[in-house]
Structure 1
């Protein structure tokens, strides 16, 4: 409780009888006037009059709010929005906020009971506990145990100290692995329950994947991750579990990024070209496919060493690693509103290895190139993965101290 009202720490909070769902609220330190920015998912056709109910010094203060819907919504009925309100001088430290509204037919007192959420990022920091944080924005119906453990261990090798996962659901073995990494304080799980409120799409294209909200609210989750780690991490990598951003001339991100800053001056983020490695094409070398791994569900990334050649005349998608303090809004493939823009990194310096099912016509139309760079990490990756599988899932190990 705070200021006489219930507090909810996790997303998602529904606002009264509106089609507005709150994710998290943050102090915005980068404007002339200090304000609170609440990341929300809203029905784009509604036009509500929002207010912020601030909990300050154990008192409630109501101030007007404005909202703005992000441009990337891919034509779905719902989109990500920022609800913002300036902090009045009388409120020296707003610890919690509720978003309220007033409709023409009712006054504020007739609404549902307000639920407060904490206001994060109270202090602007210049020293961060993490150098790299990975944001995984949509985990649903997830079962791929082997790839999950490989991804976590690859992120460690590459230099990440934290992984934030916005989780809707997964199978029981995945949950055991997640619990293992949470105990290690390497993973933070953010409960992502938007599918309980909105008919979500399982893809980005409405004509192919029907629904009212793009891909489980992925854009809202990514924006939340940027703000959640704004003063905890020097950089945030916004990607999926089947994607690996690999330097070609350096061992890890820690070595790569000083060189990127030398080559590309004054940018807020770095874009890494997507390269597909189809799951349908594999090379099962016993050196890279331990027998022990075969008892676990999932795909072995070390077996996929053929990538589809990108057409230089066509646009290639990318994922981004950004300085979160230079970002106001992000989308899936790039920044929407920023202090400094992002830049495409030369694919001979670093590129993204994307290991997934690819449409057969895409495989057939474009030539394939053998690319074994992922295996350069095998000597470190294989024993690390085997250790986690034994400790997190092997029943003989569970009872051990």
Structure 2
């Protein structure tokens, strides 16, 4: 995964891979034979670098230890990339149908750019829901973030190292990954932010493609939610293989699809309305927000997918942009009768906020999700102790008393006047 200027119509410069193998003192020189741009839109924009997948043929049965990219076959390399290759045993190969094991799912998350917003409590609830749905691993990428978010990730990495991973991240144009500056530079140039996001998505995919059957690219306010009697992603994928493709974009003869995609529906705050589940505290964000917009987005607008590691080649934030066309069909959009992508944010079109509907399907997970999330809150010290609660109540009582005295004093002054 490298960055190259993506001007429209520009010829790619001749590039070679210098492959270094164990017990060999000279590299094998192979010409780059394929370029796959991960983000195809906006080509011709000056000053931007477009993430590009570059392919070199590797000798059959051999795996290089390291690879350098050079302009000429005999050039001295100025870069050296370590090759990560972790093949699975034959019986554990991805997508092998077996009654004695569930499908393996992983989630790739872009850098959490919440330097000033404490999203730690929502992150915990989201992680525990992902675990309930069948996610085996969630991979995050490091960036300057709120201290409580760092605490949460560190806690999970210590207690569940196989479930949460945090990887380092550098920016494509060389911007320093420093607190405040990183947040500012990303916020000031949204297009550059999008292009940078493609790198961790594909880095995550390639690092984990031999470990999992399906990989999703999500934000922490997004949930692919199975509906009806289906409560996990393994059963959802099994069902998705049999249901029709929404609007029929893929042929009925398809047997395999690069991805199963799910239409977006918004769950806004509706902050002016009372919470729905009175038995639960307000810090259970998703459990409390069960009103959604009446409309779902179309199949190409803000959908999210579960990508097959057998067929996907390159990902962007919503779809597989490249895949093995000879072996699989394009993505299937699963009808909303069976599942939906629940997006806990405000819709861009504010008219969609009108006439919301109650969709409390998440309450199927309420007992387990509540218990697991609450246990994490307690362990991390996010909940006040009894003495702290007593002190807070006393502080609130005094504040209310002072406000009442002030209001009474104002009223008496008005009467006297």
Deviations 1:86-135 (A, max 9, x none): 1247x9331222223349xxx823x64x3332232456755169711111
> What's the CA shift for 1:194?
1.2
CA distance in 1, matches of 2:22, 2:299: 56
Between Structure 1 and Structure 2, the one with more strand by share is 1
Q: 1:231 to 1:248 in 2, by over 3 A?
A: same
TM-score of the pair, normalised by structure 2? 0.72
- Counterpart residue number, 1:302: 287
CA distance in 1, matches of 2:56, 2:203: 17
CA distance in 2, matches of 1:231, 1:148: 27
- Counterpart residue number, 1:290: 281
- Counterpart residue number, 1:49: 14
Find out whether 1:343 has 2:332 as its counterpart. yes
CA distance in 2, matches of 1:124, 1:44: 39
CA distance in 1, matches of 2:66, 2:56: 13
> What's the CA shift for 1:198?
4.7
Between Structure 1 and Structure 2, the one with more helix by share is 2
Q: 1:235 to 1:311 in 2, by over 3 A?
A: closer
- Structure having the higher Rg: 2
- Counterpart mapping for 1:233-272 below 5 A: 233-249=212-228, 250-263=230-243, 265-272=255-262
Q: 1:211 to 1:284 in 2, by over 3 A?
A: closer
The CA RMSD over aligned residues, in Å, is 3.4
Which of 157, 175, 181 is the aligned partner of 2:156? Answer: 181
Q: 1:212 to 1:355 in 2, by over 3 A?
A: closer
- Counterpart residue number, 2:84: 119
- Counterpart residue number, 1:79: 50
Find out whether 1:273 has 2:269 as its counterpart. no
CA distance in 2, matches of 1:231, 1:312: 32
Find out whether 1:137 has 2:110 as its counterpart. yes
What are structure 2's unaligned runs of at least 5 residues? Answer: 95-102, 245-254, 386-417
CA distance in 1, matches of 2:19, 2:142: 29
Deviations 1:261-319 (A, max 9, x none): 2335422311101001112445424645427x4xxxxx712221221122688964310
CA contact (8 A) 2:34 2:54 kept: yes
Deviations 1:337-358 (A, max 9, x none): 2232210001010001100133
Q: 1:160 to 1:362 in 2, by over 3 A?
A: same
231-240 vs 80-89, greater mean Cα deviation: 80-89
What are structure 1's unaligned runs of at least 5 residues? Answer: 1-38, 294-298
- Counterpart residue number, 2:378: 390
TM-score of the pair, normalised by structure 1? 0.75
For residue 15 of structure 2, give the secondary structure of its aligned residue in structure 1: strand
Deviations 1:227-265 (A, max 9, x none): 222110011122111001111121121222222223354
